[in-house]
Chain A
Amino acid sequence: MAMIRVLSLVLSVLSSVTLLWTQSGECNNGRRSADAVDTDFSGFSVPLEHSFEVDDVPRFRLRGALQFRGGREQGVYLSQNQLSEKDRNTLKDVAAVDGLYRIRVPRVSLQVDRQTEKQSEGYLTTFVRACSLVESHLSDVITLHTDVSGCVVGISIVTIPGSCRGIEVEDEVDLEVFNTTISVVAPVTAPVPETAPYIERMEQEMEKKGKNPQEQKSFFAKYWYLILGGAVFLMATSSAQTPPGGASEQS
């Protein structure tokens, strides 16, 4: 289903922007780096379908093909068709009745080695208001979200700007070509409590404190006057008390 290579033949316009995987060092979609070297760059493509109908019953048609490039330098390209005259008019009509513009992709795994294993059926769908698509002159941002294992779990589409102000789009040319930004987003790894830097910092502060000469004095050096004073006081009191005791013993 996903292997629609014929698609590349019918491509008329290639308006795509590549974004690399937004991934941090540790997280690599559950794929071991060793595998990445082994797997071929070959890549694959899946159809991106859209639907916009005045009666709001979804009838999906091909919009373009998402081409995933495997290998170390992972990325996604979108090659898509131009909107026909009929489509443009339909889209404008749908926008006028505040209908929805829906897109869908099949559920796929982006890991090439898993491609052959199993095809999970079903689609991931999302929508945007048709009017905002028209008013933004078909400039949209499509994001594919994957889970840790590299399986696509969700798709989202937004237009920039996203509002519907009721501006008439006169120029037919504005509705011919999609200006799409497409990206694949993998989950970010949530931070864990950072104990090591904290302890390091504490140790540094302790060291700083340790260098302070005032802190390094010994117990006696610090309190010699108190000890001396206490000793003198004790001697004074004991010498004052002993005579009566001694006297009574003598008598």
Chain B
Amino acid sequence: MAWLVVRLAISVSLFYTASAVFEDQVGKFDWRQQFIGKVRFALFDTHSQASKKLLVATDKNVFASLNSRTGDLFWRHVDKTGPEGHIDALLMYGQDAVVVAGNGRLLRSWETTVGGLKWETVLDTGSFQAAALVGVQDFVKYVAVLKKSAISLHDLSSGSQIWVENLPDSDTVQYQTIYSGGNGLVFVFGVVPNSHIVIVEYKIEDGEIMNKKSVEAAWMSSLESSCTVISSGILLCVDQITQSLYTLLLQSAEQTEMRQIHLQTLDLEVASGFQPVLTSTQPNPAQPPLSEFFLQLSPDHHILLQLKDGLIVPLRDFNPSYLAAFATSGERTVAAVMSPKNDTACSINLFSADTGRRHLDTTIIYHMDPNGGKPNRLYVHAFLKKDDSVGYRVMVQTEDLTLTFLQQPGRVVWMREEALADVVTMEMIDLPFTGTQAELEGEFGKKADGLLPMVLKRLSSQFILLQAWLAHLWKLFYDARKPRSSVKNEVNIDTLSRDEFNLQKMMVMVTASGKLFGIDSKSGTILWKQYLENIEPNSVFKLIVQRTTAHFPHPPQCTLLIKNKDTGLGNLYVFNPIFGKKSQISVPALPRPVLQTLLLPVIDQDYAKVLLLIDDQYKVTTFPSTKNILQQLQDTASSIFFYLVDSSQGKLSGFRLRKDLSTELIWEVVIPTEVQKIVAVKGKRANEHVHSQGRVMGDRSVLYKYLNPNLLAVITESTDTHHERSFVGIFLIDGVTGRIVHEAVQRKAKGPVHFVHSENWVVYVYWNSKFRRNEFSVLELFEGAELYNSTVFSSLDRPHPPQVLQQSYIFPAPISTLEATLTEKGITSRHLLVGLPSGNILSLPKMFLDPRRPEVVSEQSREENLIPYAPEMPIRDEWFINYNQTVSRVRGIHTAPSGLESTCLVVAYGLDIYQTRVFPSKQFDVLKDDYDYVLISSVLFGLFFATMISKRLAEVKLLNRAWR
């Protein structure tokens, strides 16, 4: 096979030269941000005082270590997605972090400084319940894992299994928690709901059952949420209905039922409908927990209680308080409590756990982001100061997945926006002009009002320009005197302006949690953020740009179609994408679910494009709905068509708008769902430009492209998944007439299908189930050697079906996502951007995906620069546009044109976000960085002077000759 590859490489290199990034270009126009997701477990390394480590495990199956001083990642491990990689528990002791992953399938121990795996053990199957560190004689040696029907004990240093025991009566008893107080015993707690609690005692050495007892507890439904162990082995439970606390001495033989303590006797009451929460702390797994604990009575009421001589004593009542947490440093345990201060800020205070007394000067003020969510988790890092007092830092996680790390007296050390780990959709918006540029632009827009005022206006704007230029010069001069490092290009929302080539844009990102971000594409700085409450998480969002920045003085306008959490109906959120501010425009109410949205090129007086929303009764709502718009819509109604897809019935239907904004069904295509189901429908991008109408062939004739802007690519997958009979179907359907332009079947193929539909081609990727490999297929449509109507394309008047060419190739890698580059005028050749699961993004020239690649090289094909057909698609390392900056779990790639024809802006998002520029045809319109200005200007000047001198000499010579 090697010779085949070599041959291929040679033939390829003849046609194509590399376009990789040079070493000195790294980081110049690209950046990457790494995220972790929503934190589920966070542990501070309290092993040594100077430690900066913060270990986190998240819902994205990421286990990472953060630098608690900067918020940067030390290291990060990204596990499999889904339940296979789900992190069940995170425990830490000393330098080791123990992780249970995959619903109790794997037990791993990590070295926390560099993130190396120390050992890994595969556990028996069974659904995971709990895990705990087990200590013997003040020394933690084991880790115990509780499954639904078994408990196992593992050595902490090697992972080897010490013993595994089946739990008694595991079919009736739900074993849920585990406890060890360092006295050579492991307690397992199980519950039979609304009946009794089962407590089993195991001996650590050999797993022998020392004792087993059941205690009456008719009120209990779940142990996990309502019970905890405090003091030297006392099980403490709380019940909302009886409004009581219950205690049980674990190691006493005589106590056979739980002791009830009415909350009333403590003057306490649980808020109605609230499940009270008990929080205790066990600073060292080898020692019993403290006798102090928190009881949360309502969402904003905590109380610190102590168990003393069998009596429960309130130490301190925190009302109101949002969050409370324990932290230990050395021998001292403290409690941090977050209480509301005023509408926009909270104060966090430190209290000593054993007395409930407040530590002086420990207040941290936490300012809540008015555009963010409420805090919902508090993680405390306590440390001993030099004077032996306790200092602390806190990490606050909010509903919108912001992690804020604070230290006294309220300084934000760092902040992470973890909502960005789950970007759903995005757009790139041009930045507005600066004031001066806008001034000049505005001059053209206004109506002329006489000669003199015009001249004056021109003069004044020129003067403003001069002023700006002088200010710019002054700034340059001023900056030049300062040392280089101190000059920083701080990006600020007020100084945002379009650069010369429109390379810097505003990235508007919509995340699954319902938080919107405005990010500067040049630096990756978050310029604005907005958390939308009452949004159903992970629902479909649709982001529409109604007005771009081009219409000064009207601000740009974006509309987001969102789904309300409570009503389940659609809702429009209109905002300014540059500043993130919600627009004051009144939006139409949407009383019915929205099926389809349609952005029309029809604009109203203030240049906002019209958005049509079609509800489930095929009624159309327009936004904006001014008189002018309605008039325009009435005039053009008969040429406004739209389509709907109902994949559950396999039905595609086309509608036409009527003058009264009702709709009429005009075509219907039904693909029977018994055989195949529609998995995706894609049209072409609205902002796409095609520069050339045809392709010049080797014999100088032109092959015209079939450029139907209404064409839809519909991909189906067979319901039969047998590898011999499964297939992928491709339908090319005209969205106006419903005409099936082309219909193809890829046999022995399976999804997931990724595809790109652009210009006159469709590229799709599928899994070949026969040969078990990924394959690319390209379809190109041509009108032929003659155009039917060269001036305008109308779906209603294009009777001849196009010629369809298709070719397939083997792609030697799996694929996560697929997108095509996009440039301003469409002159630059196209590349496909392929996101690979390895985290690389491959920029594959479209040239390789050309159905006209010849089997046998001929004179004509050489003339046309067609690469000879090779069944295998090459992957070359220099095509990876993100060199070593891999993007974990890449889910989408967004491309946007820049002001330079050669340059396309690319944003890849998944767990990470990566932004870069690609130059599919190299930078043909830009001078290189190392362009020799000195040489070219010296040559120019040299030539200029040489002409001057020679002219002079020639004159002298002529004069001399005349005298002769």
Contact = CB atoms under 8 A, between A and B. Distances in A.
Contact of B669 (A124, A127, A132, A199): A124
A27 interface: yes
A126 B738 contact: yes
Interface in B841-875: 855-856, 869-872
B190 interface: no
A223 interface: no
Contacts of A132: 796-797
Nearest to B716: A147
B770 to A, nearest CB: 9
B730 A162 contact: no
A124 B665 CA distance: 11
A206 interface: yes
A163 B667 CA distance: 20
A153 B796 contact: no
A248 to B, nearest CB: 52
Interface string A166-199: 0000000000000000000111111111110111
Contacts of B809: 193
A189 B744 contact: yes
B443 interface: no
B671 A123 contact: no
A188 B806 CA distance: 11
Contact of A127 (B667, B745, B807): B667
B810 interface: yes
B871 A162 contact: no
A188 B743 contact: yes
A219 to B, nearest CB: 19
Interface in B718-750: 727, 729-730, 733, 737-740, 742-747
Contacts of B669: 124, 153-154
A198 B733 CA distance: 33
B664 A56 contact: yes
Contacts of B871: 193-195, 198
B798 A189 contact: no
Interface in B817-858: 855-856
Interface in B656-712: 664-672, 675-676
A84 B212 CA distance: 95
B915 interface: no
A191 B779 CA distance: 10
A160 B743 contact: no
A210 B676 CA distance: 51
A125 interface: yes
A188 B740 contact: no
B808 A128 contact: no
B504 interface: no
Interface string A113-138: 00000001011111111001000000
A147 B746 CA distance: 12
Given A126-B667, A162-B796, A198-B871, A147 B672 contact: yes
A195 B771 CA distance: 12
Given A162-B796, A192-B768, A127 B666 contact: yes
B7 interface: yes
Given A145-B740, A188-B743, A120 B672 contact: yes
Q: Taking chain B's interface residues, is the majority helix, strand, or loop, or is none over half, making it mixed?
A: strand
Given A100-B666, A159-B799, A126 B743 contact: no
A158 interface: yes
Contact of A122 (B670, B727, B730): B670
A188 B745 contact: yes
A188 B739 CA distance: 16
A107 interface: yes
B4 interface: yes
B676 A147 contact: yes
A67 to B, nearest CB: 22
A121 to B, nearest CB: 10
Interface residues of B, number: 50
Contacts of A56: 664
A190 B797 CA distance: 28
B777 interface: yes
Contact of A126 (B730, B739, B745): B739
Contacts of A194: 855, 869, 871
Given A125-B668, A153-B670, A190 B730 contact: yes
Contact of A153 (B4, B740, B742, B872): B740
B775 interface: yes
Contact of A149 (B675, B743, B797, B799): B675
Given A100-B666, A126-B737, A193-B810, A187 B798 contact: no
A188 B801 CA distance: 14
A83 interface: no
A151 interface: yes
Interface centre among A56, A120, A156 (most CB of B within 10 A): A156
A2 interface: no
Contacts of B730: 190
Interface in A79-127: 98, 100, 102, 107, 120, 122-127
A124 B747 CA distance: 26
Contacts of B746: 189-190, 192
B740 A202 contact: no
Contact of B638 (A26, A98, A149, A159): A98
A145 B743 contact: yes
Contacts of B856: 201
A7 interface: no
B810 to A, nearest CB: 5
B608 to A, nearest CB: 29
Contact of A188 (B668, B744, B799): B744
Given A147-B675, A151-B672, A125 B666 contact: yes
B933 interface: no
Contacts of A129: 796
B15 interface: no
B745 A187 contact: yes
A124 B668 contact: yes
Given A158-B799, A162-B798, A202-B4, A193 B808 contact: yes
A191 B869 CA distance: 13
B3 interface: yes
A141 interface: yes
A132 B797 CA distance: 9
A151 B727 CA distance: 16
B743 A190 contact: no
Contacts of B3: 202, 206
Contacts of A230: none
B729 A148 contact: yes
A201 B311 CA distance: 91
A26 B747 contact: yes
Contacts of A148: 675-676, 727, 729, 745
Nearest to A129: B796
Given A147-B671, A198-B870, A187 B666 contact: no
Nearest to B668: A125
Interface centre among A107, A123, A154, A193 (most CB of B within 10 A): A193
Contacts of A229: none
Given A123-B668, A202-B4, 18 more contacts: A124-B670, A126-B666, A132-B796, A148-B745, A153-B740, A160-B799, A162-B799, A188-B744, A189-B747, A191-B806, A192-B746, A193-B809, A194-B855, A195-B810, A195-B871, A198-B855, A199-B4, A201-B856
30 contacts: A56-B664, A100-B666, A107-B670, A123-B668, A124-B670, A125-B738, A126-B739, A127-B667, A143-B739, A145-B740, A147-B676, A148-B729, A153-B740, A154-B669, A156-B737, A156-B738, A158-B799, A160-B799, A163-B797, A188-B804, A190-B730, A190-B744, A190-B779, A192-B768, A192-B808, A193-B775, A193-B809, A198-B871, A201-B856, A202-B3
Interface of B: 3-4, 7, 638, 664-672, 675-676, 727, 729-730, 733, 737-740, 742-747, 768, 775, 777, 779, 789, 796-799, 804, 806-810, 855-856, 869-872
Complex A-B, nearest 7 residue pairs according to Cβ-Cβ distance, in ascending order: A156-B739, A193-B871, A158-B799, A154-B669, A162-B797, A187-B743, A162-B799
